[in-house]
Structure 1
Amino acid sequence: MGIPHFLAIPFPVQGQVNPVMQFCHVLSKLGYKVTFLHTEFSYKRWNRTISTEKDNSEINFVTFPDGLGPEDDRSDIMKVLFSMNNTMPDLFPKLIEEINGLDTENKISCMIVTMNMGWAIEVGHKLGIKGAFFFAASASSLASCYCIPKLIDDGIIDSNGIPTKKQEIQLAPNMPNMDTADLPWLSLGKTFFTNQLVPEMQIMMKFGEWWLCNSAYDLEPGAFSLSQRFLPIGPLMEIESNKSSFYEEDTTCLDWLDQHPSKSVIYVSFGSLAVMEPNQFNELALGLDLMNKPFLWVIRPGNDNNAYPNEFNGSKGKIVSWVPQKKVLNHPAIACFISHCGWNSTIEGLCSGVPFLCWPFFSDQFLDKSYICDVWKVGIGLEKDENGLIRKEEIEKKVDQVLGCDEIRARSLKLKEIAINNIQEGGKSLKNLEKFLNWAE
């Protein structure tokens, strides 16, 4: 009998690849065999950013086609999604056979797949391979998807996922109220809801024995009360640099931060998918000038089409294309984090004890913002004006507000301790990981 062999299959976007890679490093460190499946396109992107420091893991990498041609736009997530759904299920058994052929003693014994890759777990089930889902967003976001049938039955949403009226709902007795306008699938459209999300959740219900979450019971207890299959195994903070990054990290920002006093720098980053309109970009640039504080601003490659306004000085700031975010957030010079509230950034911010200024763009980010501001109270939201813009004066005002609030800083540090205790010896998330691994073996 060989050792358990995990096959990890994330949907090829940064926000899903990153936490799955973190989890794979945990498994590899514990002595399990791990194979990580990239699309050919995402593997090339990732491989371009790799360094010797990154490439010392025991994880094996394999690739498969996403069904698109070289000319196709991979930033069109729906296009990638539907192409993979149409081409991959038929090719997948052969790929499994090839991977198993490389090490016949240690064949694949368990698959870990993210949202949108449910077809893999279904095929794996037919081949007698165990399967678990890894949910890359918050457990509360998962809870809202899990409750779709009930939300339809109760008349809260229609069969296309659209709220029947604007109202606040509570998914579980000890979860916070949620505005129906913040349901995470709304920004993705009804085609995604009916053709992808609903069938995906049905596959999860049928074949996913565990739904692993990069979260902790102490962070979202209400969401975890909904199903015994929801298993918090986070926060996943295994590796310092982002070994799954699709972009090259600019480490000069760490030397720059070294030159600044403690809690003096405003860190600004909106993740790997959010796109900012030119008018809003101008307001942000002028707001960073207006606050007259040092700032580190990430403008990722491909999202740098906006021209800086003529009045923008930027003399107190450093603008970079991508950073080793965990190292940045843990740097003593960072005072607060202006964030899009994506779940990976939220978890990394929580584990750094840094206060947030919340600027959500779409999907689950509005729900994450409500946890940051209303439940954990470790941040403040940035408010739009009547034209839907966050003005420069609002940015300056809220930065001053969050930096001047000792209570937010104290709660941030307390929440950091609570979150990290979950993955220490005797922590709840560590015990859950042991439970999962016992099942997987």
Structure 2
Amino acid sequence: MAASSSPPHALILPYPAQSHVIALLELSYYLIDRGFTITFLNTQFNHDRLLAVLKFTCFVADESVSWAFDVAKKLNLRSAAFFPAAAAVLATNFSIPQLILDGIIDEEGELKHMGEHERSAGTAAMDAAKFYWNCFADKTTRRVFFHYIVSNNRAVAAAEFIICNTFQELESPALSQAPNILPVGPLLSGCRPGRPSGFFWPPETDCLRWLDQQPLASVVYVAFGSHTIFTPVQFQELALGLELTGRPFLLVVRPDITDVEDQPYPARFVERVAGGRGKVVGWSPQQQVLSHRSIACFVTHCGWNSTLEGVRNGVPFLCWPQFCDQFFNESYICDVWRTGVRMERDENGIISKEKIASKVEELLGDGGIKARSSALKEKALRSIEEGGSSFENLNRFAEAMKDSSRAS
């Protein structure tokens, strides 16, 4: 072990998914700002060999790879678990034993009682059918994922800190239910020149120059994260719906789904929008896009990183969740914060081009949504400024981790 006078050196281990990598990279930069040396691992690295050579003073790992906390415990390293989603989701994971006792779920995570899992005022009620582990159609997969979450909960309990990419003013009721969660967000991504952003695809920054040419608060920004794949029918309805709005739009279509056979554009769509009213990119510098003066709203899958980036920039949301915690995040946006509206699917599960266009108009015509979005932005900014709740929590965490002696 390093002596207590050694510089703080954090070993960071993310779950290998983009949103996890992005958030933990940004947390690493915050710790660098506070005097830490960082070693950032990918899961393919030989952890035992690295730990034998380097004298780390603390260990920070993604909650999803909680097996790694056994390594920290054996080496007597101070440790912290990092959760990249909403604190309320993690609090629900921790409440699994109580959910079983209350008869809402059985010991395999299967529903016994339909309806909403109610929380205290100011926290979104969670539809029991949309619990984190119920996002899979296959029963066996649901059960495997459920037991994975239960196992993670036990392992994470060994960590000295549980830090979360959220802020006190955003999730105060949920954080009061789980006081062991330390909020340190919103962690900003892609805003540090010359440093890796965690993006799995290179951002096409020419879209910023295109945004410069658009009127104030006019552009519909559309991005669905790193996993969403639409059917060809839904993709065409999306493209035509954006065109039908008559507004300028910036559409992100990831490089891994731009094959014409998988995601065919409507006939002559690209030619019609190429004149400047619409722009399609493979990946965008999202934080810079959302902070741009020309952005009017954000059509999103409601991933937590995207949700926080929208909150931090005061952008209204048009919600289009796909799986996992995204439905819960939609409830936060539409029911608690009231900074967005939901999409509506037809009987075939499709959101039509007409519905897309009408929902954009509904969202942008609601002055209350814009006002609440702006107010939430101010709270987010205050939280990360000196003296703010997340700023002080980061200082508290950094100071604790600088002491290499493990707490009793």
TM-score of the pair, normalised by structure 1? 0.84
Q: Aligned-pair distance for 1:174? A: 5.0
Deviation at 1:173, TM superposition (A): 5.8
2:205 alignment partner AA? T
What residue number does 2:405 align with? none
Q: Give the distance between the partners of 2:65 and 2:117, measured in 1 at CA.
A: 29
Retained in 1: the 8 A contact 2:123–2:336? Answer: no
Query: What amino acid sits opposite 2:160 in the alignment?
Result: E
- Tell me the equivalent position of 1:358: 319
* Structure-2 change in CA distance of 1:238 and 1:272 (3 Å): closer
Q: Which moved more, 1:236-245 or 1:370-379?
A: 236-245
Report the Cα distance in structure 2 between the residues aligned to 1:257 and 1:278, rounded to whole angstroms. Answer: 28
2:48 corresponds to which of 93, 113, 119: 93
Taking the aligned partners of 1:96 and 1:118, their CA distance within structure 2 comes to 17
- Structure with the larger RCO, 1 or 2 (CA within 8 Å, 6+ apart): 2
Query: Alignment partner for residue 273 of structure 2, among 286, 308, 314?
Result: 314
| SS of match in other structure, 2:299 | strand
**1:100-119 paired onto structure 2 within 5 Å:** 100=54, 107-119=55-67
- Equivalent residues of 1:147, 1:171 under 8 A apart: no
| SS at structure 2 position matched to 1:145 | helix
Q: Which runs of 5+ in 2 are unaligned?
A: 403-408
Please give the alpha-carbon distance, in whole angstroms, between the structure 2 residues aligned to 1:321 and 1:239. 16
User: Are residues 1:435 and 2:392 paired?
Assistant: no
Does residue 229 of structure 1 match 2:180? yes
- Within a 5 Å distance, the mapping from 1:158-177 to structure 2 comes to 158-172=106-120, 174-177=122-125
AA aligned to 1:272 is: S
Aligned to 2:150: 198
Task: Rate the CA distance shift 1:238–1:325 in 2: closer, same or farther, 3 A.
Answer: closer
Q: Is the 8 A contact 2:108 2:147 kept in 1?
A: no
Contact 2:23 2:189 (C-alpha < 8 Å) held by counterparts? no
Q: Percent identity?
A: 43
Match of residue 331 from structure 1: 292
1:214 matched to which residue of 2? 165
Q: Is the partner of 1:435 in helix, strand or coil?
A: helix
Q: Deviations over 1:247-276 (max 9, x none)?
A: 011001001101101011100000011111
Quote the residue 1:381 is aligned against: 342
SS where residue 60 of structure 2 aligns?
A: strand
Give, as a single letter, the amino acid of the residue that structure 2 aligns with 1:125.
Answer: K
What residue identity is the alignment partner of 1:139? Answer: A
Q: Decide which moves more: 189-198 or 148-157.
A: 189-198
Q: 1:27 aligns with which of 25, 31, 34?
A: 31
Residue of 235, 238, 242 corresponding to 1:284? 238
Choose 299-308 or 2-11, whichever is displaced more.
299-308
Deviation at 1:211, TM superposition (A): 1.0
Provide the C-alpha distance between the structure 2 equivalents of 1:119 and 1:94, rounded to a whole number of angstroms.
17
Per-residue CA distance 1:268-290 (angstroms, 9 max, x = gap):
00001111111111110110111
Cα distance in 2 for partners of 1:238, 1:137 equals: 15
Deviation at 1:238, TM superposition (A): 6.5
Name 1:345's counterpart in structure 2. Answer: 306
Mapped pair 1:129 → 2:74 = no
Corresponding position: 1:416 with 2:381: no
* Residues in 1 aligned to 2:58 and 2:392: alpha-carbon distance in whole angstroms: 19
Q: Deviations over 1:327-372 (max 9, x none)?
A: 0000101100000000000000111111110000000000001111
| Distance in 1 (alpha carbons) for counterparts of 2:77 and 2:120 | 33
Aligned length: 384
Equivalents in 1 of 2:316, 2:128: separation in Å? 27
Deviation sequence 1:363-391 (CA, Å, 0-9, x none): 00000011111111111111111111111
AA aligned to 1:236 is: L
Q: Deviations over 1:109-158 (max 9, x none)?
A: 11111132111111111111111111001111111111111111111011
> Structure 1: which amino acid aligns with 2:20?
Q
- Gap regions ≥5 residues in structure 1: 41-63, 65-90, 101-106
With normalisation by structure 2, the TM-score equals 0.91
State the shift of 1:239 in Å.
5.0
Task: Please give the secondary structure, in 2, of the residue aligned with 1:257.
Answer: helix
CA drift of 1:440 comes to 1.3
Q: For 2:212 and 2:384, how far apart are their aligned partners in 1?
A: 29
The alpha carbon displacement at 1:311 in A equals: 6.0
1:228 CA drift (Å): 2.3
